[in-house]
Amino acid sequence: MTDILTRKTGRAGHITLTRPKALNALSWEMCLEAEKALDAWAEDPEVALVILDATGERAFCAGGDIAEMYRRGLGGDLDFGRRFWADEYRMNAKLAAYPKPIVAFMHGFIMGGGVGLGGHCSHRVVGESAQVAMPECGIGFVPDVGGSYLLARAPGRLGAHLALTAARMGPGDAIHAGFADLFMPEESWPLVKDRLIETGEVSALEEAARPAPASPMAQAQAEIDALYSSGDLGAIEAALASAESDLAQAALKQVRRNSPLSMAVTLAMLDRLGRAPEDIRAALAQEYRVAHRIMQQGDFLEGVRAQLIDKDRTPRWSLPLGGVPEERVAALLAPLGEDELAL
């Protein structure tokens, strides 16, 4: 079986991730195959909508498959990662601008590359098992695949909280934060997909949707807004350290664990995008500037080593939490000239 299955059934184009043992981690080849199907169906009169889902019980997609990227980068091959990211980001942009409805059914872990795959579709369904997160700062990277776009649009300062702590969102939180649209019990999904395939009409979604579960993050919104109000990494750490709530203390532990450079760059990215960006392409272009340089100028290789390769969970970050020079941040976000992302 291949890692991704694309086919036409009834009135629907159907893309299914079929790599459950790897939590449907998204490889370069899977990105290209998904994009190929989307291109083929965009003007196909037989395809009224696209269904995007995944096999296995544990994950829709737990992220990008970066082990090979790490291995190549460690050996000095920076081109492999850059081309992977460029192709993946192009696919993210196509998902966001697709001329037909795309219905993403997201269950289990939806992280990093999984957010890039399902989070920009026109109709984003989450079930009761959904756990959504952007954990990139923990591996010395930044929220990418258009994740910075979603984070910037989240209510108040919730985007900063999600980015700096990799806090996991259940279905209610995901809808509150703008990472999903509808809650639907997973037992109803097979019947709903059958309806979509048969009719080519998205009205079946509203009929099957149920009230979203409560969102703890919505209930904590005022506290989150206050803790992250400054937009400055050092001030955020101080605010978290002085607060006594469980939320603040859990966030503080994560902030002190993640790459200081990655977190500072992430805050700058969100600030540059503003609170309500309208164009995902601008976010992707900014993300690619960082991705293009991250193996040479950032903590990516060390973060991946510590978290995913050696798994010692003790990364040796390049900078201390209170000492990230503005010029290091600016250098990662500077225009790339002729190497800018082409969408």
Residues annotated as catalytic are: 64, 113, 136, 144
Angle at 148 between CA 218 and CA 237, to 5 degrees: 65
Dihedral of alpha carbons 137, 215, 231, 143, sign: positive
Residues 6+ apart with CB under 8 A from 86: 288, 341, 342
Angle at 270 between CA 265 and CA 276, to 5 degrees: 170
Length of the chain: 343
Grouping H, G, I as helix, E, B as strand and the rest as coil, residue 9 is strand
Q: Taking each helix axis from N to C terminus, what angle separates 246-255 and 158-165, rounded to the nearest 10 degrees?
A: 50
CB atoms inside a 10 Å sphere around CB 119: 25
CB atoms inside a 10 Å sphere around CB 339: 13
Q: From residue 302, how far is each of 71, 86, 169 by CA, in Å?
A: 12, 22, 27
57 vs 32: CA distance, rounded Å? 24
Phi, psi angles (nearest 5°) of residue 205: -70, -50
29 residue type, one letter: E
